[in-house]
Structure 1
Amino acid sequence: MTRVLLVSHYYPPHVGGIENVVRHEALHLTRAGVEVTVLTSGRHTVTEDDAGVRVVRVAAWNGVEERTGVPFPVLAPRVLAAAVRWARWADVVHVHDCLYMTSWAAGLASALTGTPQVLTQHVALVEHPSAVVRGVQRAVYGLAGRLLLRRARRVLVVNGRVADFVTAYGARAVGHLPNGVDTRLFRPPHTAEERRAARGRFGLPRNRVLVLFVGRLVPKKGYDLLLGAADAGYDLVFAGDGAQATADGPGLHHVGALAPDELAELYRAVDLFALPSAAEGFPLTVQEAMASGLPVLTTDDPGYAPYRLAEAGVRLLPRDSGRLRGALRELAQDEDLRAAMGRSSHARAATDFAWEQHTAELVRTYAAATGRRTREALA
């Protein structure tokens, strides 16, 4: 049995895209016969969940996220000892993103123990409004990031722009691997009554077109652009927390951060999904919305080209409130167009974003990194 150490700065119950990806990878790898340990931040514990995933949490200070909205836990020094211990146990160390202290510790532990390293880079440089944050990013990628990317046996990315980014920082073997989505959990409503009932549970109006935003309420995600696109023709629904919290008002509803099953129900309650974010890898929420059969509007990012989103009915727009408002008005007034876009989105998600496909590719990647044949990796 192959042993894998998955490394992530956060892990559920903390809410965020990377931690959701790592959680699903851990679950599906375990089901495929891989023994998984997750190294992350949190209250210092070593536990095993009901799926058989061991979770090693190292104490951390989360003041950076609380004060600025930047998800950067500052870990206790013991993170290095924990990383070395579990890297020695593992056959392969799989690091998620090279910007975080967990990643730096795991990369050093991989070098000290000689354990092969695989790295998934989710995003390129984020154009944060703070010059300080941008400067820190460049410094980290130029030092720790460069070392991690050069040492990785394989670097996995979710879009073309990130592939260019990691190559510029020294990555040698780069592959494209889309994140997966749970198409059983995230699905369209079976009936109109199911949609009405979901609206009732969230206290949402039943006779309005509802546009949903899911993500942290920070500028990178574009929540402020969507607020600027508010219009009498539809209501805006925000799911997420952040440094800037929205308050309920006319045409505006804020439901906070939700657990996955609650979020899946919220997708079934609304009519449209909009995410005018910047510098993403490929947003997991876009995949969830597509699987839920929603028409999707998101940023026209050249890095999304490998996904051929326009062919799947996704509307790609510049990060401009006026353009976003115009597109939302059009869709709010055309139920047939919304339905056609939603059908196309759902069909693409069902065929291209299954977690089983993602997991099979990970197993092949681990086998190549360790020099084992795929059959042995699953034995």
Structure 2
Amino acid sequence: MRVLHVVTLHTPTNDFGGPTRVALNLCKGLRRKGADARIATLGDKFTGPLPTEVEGVPSFVHQARHVLPAFEVSGITSPALLRQARRMVKSADVVHVHLMRDLITLPFALIALEANVPLVVQTHGMIDPTEKLFAKAVDVLGMKRVLRRADAILHLTRMERDGVQAVVPGTPLRTFHRLVNGVTPQDARPPRGDRPPTVLYLARVQKRKRPEDFVNAMPTVLAHYPDARFVLAGPDTGDLTGPMRKLAADLGVSGSLECVGALGHDEVLERLRAADVYVLPSVVEPFAVSILEAMSVGLPVVVARTGGLSPDVEAAGAGRVTDSVPDADNGPLVGRAVLELLDPAANEQASLAARQLVNDRFSIDAVVDTLLDVYAGVMAPGGAVHGS
């Protein structure tokens, strides 16, 4: 089976976050099961030649052209990649598009429809109703057509499914399938030993992920663990690292905060293994791969109750779930949750539960088995299959 995955952007430090990581994880899992899975994407911030494979996955990577800079990742494209798109689509048995309102994934999806190649789209929480004029124009020009005609639409949560459906009111979409994110199980992190406790934020540093709650949690934790270290890691997509440093200085805790910027995937795993608690304060977080990766090494997590993975974390005892709310200082809530998990017994218990949760429910092999069933359905005579 030949499968072409299309995702908007790949950089050396995974600036695009979840969608690219999901595409890579799925392709690696598919290849282990014998499928010829490849990725088409844009590349940016490479200092040398663009890669022809990413983490062992053959990849068609073309230089990103920032034709509409005001729209950031939605405004990048590559005429050279689009010129090859039809040939690439027609050589595939299934085209799997990690869909957003942009100038790469949407054109690939439309080309797949035109070429009558089975089309699977995965929206990653990025497609929902909007009042932005550019996005509304994109919906009229192509997005609604893709959603109506895709052979399968993959969603993570009921909220995501409802948001996609709301983009095409009056047309019931009957090809939804739930596909959770999955990660490769990892070796457990080593015991802390005598080193100071380390609390880690590792995700894009952007407003909706609320890094300020991470920083605001510091005084609560430092009052009990004065030598604790707080690491703020991840690409800064909102010019927030400077304000986070200032906030730490205003709180008198800047000496305990380390801002390390964007990291490659191997460095991500190293940081996760060297930490004691992972914190992602985002109030709106559909299904963060970073949470799964943290739990895969046995790192307990602190997450907001409104996150897509929070019910699983709470039920398994893999961390702590806070009642964080938008537009409020949730730092003390986060800080108290971190304190609970820095207790050695509680940390060990949550660590074991976290790894077990990933192994039982979110391993990439189990997710790929579900995906292969979806592919078989869309490739069968009759095409689109009704899902759940």
Equivalent residues, number = 350
The CA deviation at 1:99 is 2.5
Q: Residue 376 of structure 1 corresponds to which residue in structure 2?
A: none
Distance 1:106 1:124, change over 3 A: closer
TM-score by length of 2: 0.80
Structure 1 Cα separation of the partners of residues 126 and 27 of structure 2: 24
Q: Residue 10 of structure 1 corresponds to which residue in structure 2?
A: 9
Q: Give unmatched runs, 5+ long, in structure 1.
A: 197-205, 374-379
1:221-274 deviations in whole A, cap 9, x for unaligned?
A: 211221222212443211112132255931101222222222212112111111
Structure 1 Cα separation of the partners of residues 58 and 64 of structure 2: 19
Q: Residue 125 of structure 2 corresponds to which residue in structure 1?
A: 123
Distance 1:289 1:364, change over 3 A: same
Distance 1:315 1:63, change over 3 A: farther
Partner of residue 268 from structure 1, selected from 269, 273, 286: 273
The CA deviation at 1:326 is 2.9
The CA deviation at 1:136 is 4.5
Q: Residue 326 of structure 1 corresponds to which residue in structure 2?
A: 336
Structure 2 Cα separation of the partners of residues 46 and 22 of structure 1: 18
Structure 2 Cα separation of the partners of residues 372 and 49 of structure 1: 33
- Of stretches 288-297 and 243-252 in structure 1, the one that deviates more from structure 2 is 243-252
The CA deviation at 1:12 is 5.0
Q: Residue 34 of structure 2 corresponds to which residue in structure 1?
A: 33
Root mean square deviation of aligned Cα: 3.1
The CA deviation at 1:143 is 5.3
What SS does the aligned partner of 1:20 have? helix
1:46-91 deviations in whole A, cap 9, x for unaligned?
A: 96438774312233235878x88x5435113344322211111111
Matched to 2:371, the amino acid is L
Distance 1:35 1:73, change over 3 A: farther
Distance 1:279 1:101, change over 3 A: farther
TM-score by length of 1: 0.82
The CA deviation at 1:347 is 1.0
Q: Residue 188 of structure 1 corresponds to which residue in structure 2?
A: 188
Distance 1:302 1:252, change over 3 A: closer
Q: Residue 112 of structure 1 corresponds to which residue in structure 2?
A: 114
1:177-326 alignment, distance < 5 Å: 177-184=179-186, 187-192=187-192, 206-207=195-196, 209-231=197-219, 232-233=222-223, 234-242=228-236, 243-246=239-242, 247=245, 249-301=254-306, 303-304=308-309, 308-313=312-317, 314-317=319-322, 318-319=324-325, 320-326=330-336
Structure 1 Cα separation of the partners of residues 207 and 137 of structure 2: 22
Structure 1 Cα separation of the partners of residues 124 and 174 of structure 2: 17
Confirm or deny: 8 A CA contact 2:304 2:321 kept in the other structure.
yes
Structure 2 Cα separation of the partners of residues 223 and 140 of structure 1: 31
What SS does the aligned partner of 1:39 have? strand
Q: Residue 97 of structure 1 corresponds to which residue in structure 2?
A: 99
Matched to 1:162, the amino acid is E
Confirm or deny: 8 A CA contact 1:96 1:103 kept in the other structure.
yes
What SS does the aligned partner of 2:298 have? coil
Distance 1:335 1:138, change over 3 A: farther
Confirm or deny: 8 A CA contact 2:287 2:307 kept in the other structure.
no
Q: Residue 61 of structure 2 corresponds to which residue in structure 1?
A: 57
Confirm or deny: 8 A CA contact 1:124 1:280 kept in the other structure.
no
Structure 1 Cα separation of the partners of residues 178 and 292 of structure 2: 16
Q: Residue 200 of structure 1 corresponds to which residue in structure 2?
A: none
Deviating beyond 6 angstroms after TM superposition, the runs of 4 or more aligned structure 1 residues are 43-47
Structure 2 Cα separation of the partners of residues 156 and 47 of structure 1: 28
The CA deviation at 1:14 is 4.5
Matched to 2:189, the amino acid is P
Structure 2 Cα separation of the partners of residues 311 and 102 of structure 1: 39
The CA deviation at 1:368 is 0.7
Confirm or deny: 8 A CA contact 2:231 2:260 kept in the other structure.
yes
The CA deviation at 1:316 is 2.1
Structure 2 Cα separation of the partners of residues 278 and 125 of structure 1: 18
Identity value in percent = 26
Structure 2 Cα separation of the partners of residues 13 and 372 of structure 1: 40
Q: Give unmatched runs, 5+ long, in structure 2.
A: 249-253, 383-388
